Amino acid sequence: MKLHVVFATAAALCLPALAQAQQLEPGLWEIKSTALQVNGQQLPDLQLLMGSLPPEQRKMAEQAMAKQGVAMSGNGVRMCITPQQAQTDSFPTQTTQAGCSQQITQRTPQMMKFNVSCPQGKGQGQTTFLSSREFATTINGTFLMGGQNQQGRSESQGRWLAADCGGLPTGQR
């Protein structure tokens, strides 16, 4: 899989897990990357990146996302947050990313800072809660790809769409 697609997908999957300081509305959420950079180079959005993959790699990426309860949408990715998940700090993507851990380093009702560590990378981020139906997240990190460390930055917006998830499954626990 192409380097920038891996980073974009990983960032998209992490975002809902990181948005938990303020209790969020349960239901269907859309997460849209507003800026994605690798080594200082601006990358196209996730939809364009996924579209540039060979069909078998795109299918693998979509299947990995589906296991997390995440689906591609016209404006980013969509995921379902259950009422139980909205009341706790346990969103599906936190527990299903193999070998990844998250540490919250600072928390207020309007903001959360965190560190994230995975076998192939680590980073720091901040989520700003605009309301129970909207948040903005920035993640800066280093990840290993092709035997070399790469610097990445992701900015995204999360917004609540509806109380009904429309059949979109929640991620595996």
Percent of the chain predicted with pLDDT > 70? 69
Distance from C-alpha of 19 to C-alpha of 112, rounded to nearest angstrom:
8
Per-residue pLDDT averaged across 75-84, rounded? 82
Distance from C-alpha of 147 to C-alpha of 126, rounded to nearest angstrom:
28
Residue 14 gets the label, from left (phi > 0), alpha (psi -120 to 50) or beta, of alpha
Per-residue pLDDT averaged across 74-79, rounded? 78
Q: Please state, rounded to an integer, the average pLDDT across all residues of the chain.
A: 75
pLDDT level of residue 94 (50, 70, 90 thresholds)? very low
> What are the angstrom distances between the C-alpha of 77 and each of 117, 120, 122, 127?
22, 22, 22, 17
pLDDT of residue 171: 58
Per-residue pLDDT averaged across 118-130, rounded? 89
Residues forming a β-bridge with 127 = 112, 137
pLDDT of residue 142: 92
Per-residue pLDDT averaged across 56-66, rounded? 74
pLDDT of residue 75: 64
Residue 52 or residue 83, greater confidence:
83
**For residue 110, pLDDT beyond 60:** yes
pLDDT level of residue 38 (50, 70, 90 thresholds)? confident
